[in-house]
Structure 1
Amino acid sequence: MPTLIAGIVAVVLLYTALNVIKGADPKWLAKIVRSGGGVLALAAAAFVGAKGELAVAIPLAIFGAGLLGWSPFGAQLGSAWGNYGPAAWKSQGQKSQVRSQFIEMTLDHDTGALHGRIIAGPEAGRVLDEFTLEELITLARSFDGESWSLLEGYLDRRFPAWRENTQGAGAGGRGSEDRRAAPGGKMTADEAYQILGLKPGAGREEISRAHRGLMKKLHPDQGGSTYLAARVNEAKDTLLRNHR
C-alpha cells in the first residue's frame, strides 16, 4: 500500500511539474535550471569529496559554482556559459539594409522577412507591400539595373511564380536579363556594415558569423537572391580587408 501511494504522489508531482514547465517563462526556467544544476553539482562534489575522490570533486565544484554565477577563474567560465546559454538564443534584432537609386531593402535576420521601400520617384516613401505585382512591374520600367536586380529578390520572395506570369512584359519578362547590373562604385565600409546588420567596429568573428547567417537565408540554392547574396559577399570582403 505505501508503494502504491508513493507511486500516485510521484505521478501527480510529475504531471504538475510538466504543466509548470510548459507554461513557464523560458528565462525563468533557464534560471531555475542553472540554479538547480549548480546546487546539485556542489552537493555531488561534497559527497564525492567526502569519499576522498578529489580529482572528481574539484571539477564538479568548479562547474557548480560557475552555474551559480561564481568562478575562481573570473569571467572566463561565465563567458563560456554566455556563449551557449539563454543569452546566446536571445534575438539581437539585427537587420540588413541594401540601397539602390530607387529602392531600400531590409532583411530581418531573425525571421528572414524581406521588406522594401521606394526612396525616389513619384512613389517615394511607399513600401513595396502596398503594390500589386502588376504595379511593381510597371513601376520597375523606370528603374536602373541595380534597382531592378534588388526588386527581383523581393519579387522572388513575395511572388514565387512571377517570372512565368510576366513573360514578355517590359520589365519582368525574359527580356529583363539585360537590365541586371552589378552595383556601381566601390562599396564603402558604412554600406558593408549596413548590409551585414553590424555596428561599426565589429570584429572578424562577428563579420563572419553575420555573413554565414545571411547566406543561409539569401543563397540562390536556398531560394534566395543572386544579387543580394553577391552584395553580402562583397560586404564581408570589404570589412575583412579593413582587418588585415
Structure 2
Amino acid sequence: MAPLLLGIAVLLVLIWAMYGFARIDVKVLAPVLRKAGGYAALAGAVFLTARGQFGLALPLGFAALTMLGWLPGTASLGKRTNKSAGQISRVRSAFLEMELDHDTGAMRGRILAGRMEGVTLDALDVPAMVSLLPEIDEESRALLMAYLDRRDPAWRENADAGAAAGPAHVDRGKMTEEEAYQVLGVKPGASAADIGRAHRALMKKLHPDQGGSTYLAARVNEAKDLLLRRHR
C-alpha cells in the first residue's frame, strides 16, 4: 500500500508543479508541460497496472494518452476547443477607422479626416455623428451608419430623412489581401480553417438578420472569399 500511495503522491506533485509553472508563460510552457504531464500519468498507469489496480490504471492511462495526443482525434483537441482571444477586426475608409472586438462584439471608431480628425466616436454624441453624414464619402457614411446602428438602434427615428437614408450603392474598390486579413482579424497566412472560424464568429455578430450591418457583413464576406481563393 505504501508504494502505491507514494506513487500517487509523486504524480499529484508533478501535476501541481505543471500547472504552477504553466502560469509563468502559458504559450511557451503549456505544450511542454502538457506532454510532461502525459508521460507522468502514463508512468502512473503502468505502475498501477503492475500493482493490479486496473480500476485506477484504466482512466489514468486514458487521460495520459489524451494529453499526449496518441488517441485518434485528440492531437489537436486543444486547438479546436480553445478560442483565440483578443482578435480585432479593422475596417478603414477615407474618413473612418473602425474596430470590432470578436470576444465582446464592441465596436470602436476614430475619425481620420475633416473638422473632427483624431476624435473617437465614443467621445461624440449621436446628433454630432449624424451631422457628419452629409459631409463624408459613401463608404465612410455606410461605416458610420453601421456604428450608429450598433450604438443607438433608434437613431434614425430622430435623424433627418436625408441623413438617415443609406446609400443605394457603395463603391469600395478592390479589397487587398492585407485589408482582408484586418477585416477578419486573422494573421497573414492564416489557414482556411482559421479564416472560416473567424468569418462564422463575425457573421453571428454582424449579419443583418441578427440586427447587424449589411455593409459590414458584405465586407466580411468579401474578405473571406478573397482569402479562401488562396487555398484552392
Interval containing the TM-score (normalised by the shorter chain): 0.7 to 0.9
CA deviations on 1:39-61 (whole Å, 9 max, x unpaired) are 8887677556655979x957852
Does residue 128 of structure 2 align to residue 135 of structure 1? yes
Partner of 2:79: 83
Cα distance in 1 for partners of 2:69, 2:47 equals: 17
> Is contact 2:69-2:76 (8 Å) kept?
no
- Secondary structure class of the residue paired with 2:131: helix
Inter-CA distance 63–186: structure 2 relative to 1 (3 Å threshold)? same
Q: Give the letter aligned to residue 189 of structure 2.
A: G
**SS in structure 2 of the partner of residue 171 of structure 1:** helix
| Residues 41, 61 of structure 2: 8 Å contact kept | no
Residue by residue over 1:115-144, the C-alpha shift from the partner in whole angstroms, topping out at 9 and shown as x without a partner, is 111111121111111111111111111111
- Residue 221 of structure 2 corresponds to residue 240 of structure 1: no
Secondary structure at the aligned position of 1:112 is classed as: coil
1:188 aligns with: 176
Q: Is the 8 A contact 2:87 2:103 kept in 1?
A: yes
Cα drift, residue 72 of structure 1: 8.3
SS of alignment partner, residue 141 of structure 1:
helix
Q: Which amino acid aligns with 1:185?
A: G
Q: Distance in 2 between matches of 1:138 and 1:126?
A: 15
Instruction: Check whether the contact 2:203–2:220 (CA below 8 A) recurs between aligned residues.
Output: yes
Return the TM-score normalized by structure 2: 0.72
- 1:5 matched residue in structure 2: none
Q: Which residue of 192, 205, 209 corresponds with 1:221?
A: 209
Q: Which residue of 2 aligns with 1:199?
A: 187
For residues 48-78 of structure 1, the C-alpha deviation after alignment (integer angstroms, 9 at most, x for no partner) is: 6655979x957852533654xxx3859x95x
4+ aligned runs moved over 3 Å, structure 1? 34-54, 56-60, 71-74
| Superposition CA RMSD, Å | 3.5
Compute the displacement of 1:146 (Å). Answer: 1.0
Identity percentage over the alignment?
49
AA aligned to 2:149 is: D
Structure 2 unaligned blocks of 5 or more: 1-19, 24-29
Residues 233, 101 of structure 1: alpha-carbon distance in 2 compared, 3 angstrom cutoff: same
2:63 aligns with 63
Q: Tell me, in whole angstroms, the C-alpha distance in 2 between the residues paired with 1:206 and 1:37.
A: 27
SS in structure 1 opposite 2:201? helix
Q: TM-score, normalised by structure 1?
A: 0.69
User: Given that residues 40 and 64 in structure 1 are in contact (C-alpha distance below 8 angstroms), is that contact kept between their aligned partners in structure 2?
Assistant: yes
* From 146, 150, 153, the counterpart of 2:146: 153
Query: Does the 8 Å contact 1:114/1:154 carry over to 2?
Result: yes
CA contact (8 A) 2:41 2:63 kept: no
Number of equivalenced pairs: 201
